[in-house]
Amino acid sequence: MDIRAMRYFVAIVDQGSLTRAAEVVCVAQPALSQQLATLEDEFGVPLVHRSAKGVRPTEAGKTLYRHVRNILRQVEIAGADVRVAGAEVSGTVAIGLPTTAAAAFGMALIRTVRQRYPQVRLQLFESMSGYISELLNQNRLDFAILFRDTPSRAVEPEPLASEPLYLIGTPPVTAPRPGKRGSATADTVPLKALDGIPLVLPSGSQGLREVVERTFAKAGMNLNVVADLDSLPFLLASAREGLACTILPASSLGDGDATVPRRLIVPELRRTLSLCWPRALPRSNAAEAVADVLREIVGERIALGGSLAPAG
């Protein structure tokens, strides 16, 4: 199995179609089909399921895909390191940013990297943290910003900051009144007052959802999630229209959300912002340089005295 065959196989899985993959790698479809058949003969197992809708990897194909992505990434890093040894920082750096982190740091990161390291090409993936975690576990990212502080076999987190969470929106009139469970003010709401109120939250794979679930369970409270919404605009729209409240950091709110009710949850419910590295990939010079820029940007935001505070 050579490098070319690896690139062909990755294209087939990524595109989900032999026709589209052939266009991406600029070879004839029959030749690409033959390369796939040769790979399956070499390993002795089917690597993809074929159907009228295209192709999708078998379990064996998924395993091969993960290894091949690692190999190709290491080949790319090796080539970049060799070319730039003793020269300026350059190469491609793939970064995953959850939507809220992208809004807070994305443009500052792009601007600073462009000014400081013009030979570095950024690839930014913005999505909910669950999808970013998948990309990181598949070694498709050099690093990511995630809302977690616990390490795993695949990911090494580096806590950068923490921020408090707010109740966004006004609880429906049918929900138990917060005053019965604690003393609320115009700016705060007791955690116990959230027991049973209708909430819209990101799905269970997201870092914020894990923080909320863990906190409610520890307090013996009923977490009443009426909709799982992996979309920041939908979460805010639901709160804005009074359909249900949500729980988010203040940094999630845009300039147009100044009138949306928000109250700090007390005692404070916080989430940790971490720079997360895949353990299986070596860290390139370019990735380390971009990570330094991100650390600098987060440090500047903490120094401004807003909602961000030093981690731990």
212: domain CATH number? 3.40.190.290
Q: In this structure, which amino acid lies at residue 158?
A: E
What is the tens place of the pLDDT at every residue in 280-293? Answer: 888 888 999 999 99
> Within a domain: residue 147?
yes
> Within a domain: residue 79?
no
Same domain, 23 and 103: no
Last residue of a domain, one of 71, 100, 127: 71
Same domain, 42 and 94: no
> Where is 252: in which H helix or E strand?
none
Which has the closest alpha carbon to 95: 287, 309, 300? Answer: 287
**79 or 132, higher pLDDT:** 132
Which has the closest alpha carbon to 157: 310, 277, 283? Answer: 277
CATH number, residue 28: 1.10.10.10
Q: What angle do CA 296, 253, 304 make, to 5 degrees?
A: 35
Same domain, 262 and 297: no
Q: How confident is the model at residue 127 (pLDDT cuts 50, 70, 90)?
A: confident
Same domain, 208 and 119: no
Query: What Å distances lie between residue 184 and 190, 216, 249, CA to CA?
Result: 6, 18, 19
Residue appearing with tokens 């959850």 = 98
Which has the closest alpha carbon to 47: 34, 30, 64? Answer: 64
Same domain, 290 and 232: no
The conformation of residue 297, written as its DSSP 8-state character, comes to H
Same domain, 174 and 248: yes
Same domain, 98 and 123: yes
Same domain, 278 and 155: yes
Rounded to two decimals, what is the model's pTM? 0.63
Q: How confident is the model at residue 87 (pLDDT cuts 50, 70, 90)?
A: low
From 156-160, 202-206, 210-214, the region with the lowest mean pLDDT: 202-206
Same domain, 35 and 155: no
Mean pLDDT computed over every residue of the chain: 86
Q: How many CA atoms lie within 13 A of 307 on its CB side?
A: 18
Query: What Å distances lie between residue 274 and 111, 144, 296, CA to CA?
Result: 21, 8, 14
Same domain, 94 and 37: no
- What's the domain count of the chain? 3
Give the residue numbers spanning the domain of 285.
87-161+272-310
Would you state the pLDDT for residue 95?
A: 96
Same domain, 243 and 172: yes
What is the tens place of the pLDDT at every residue in 48-63? Answer: 998 888 899 999 999 9
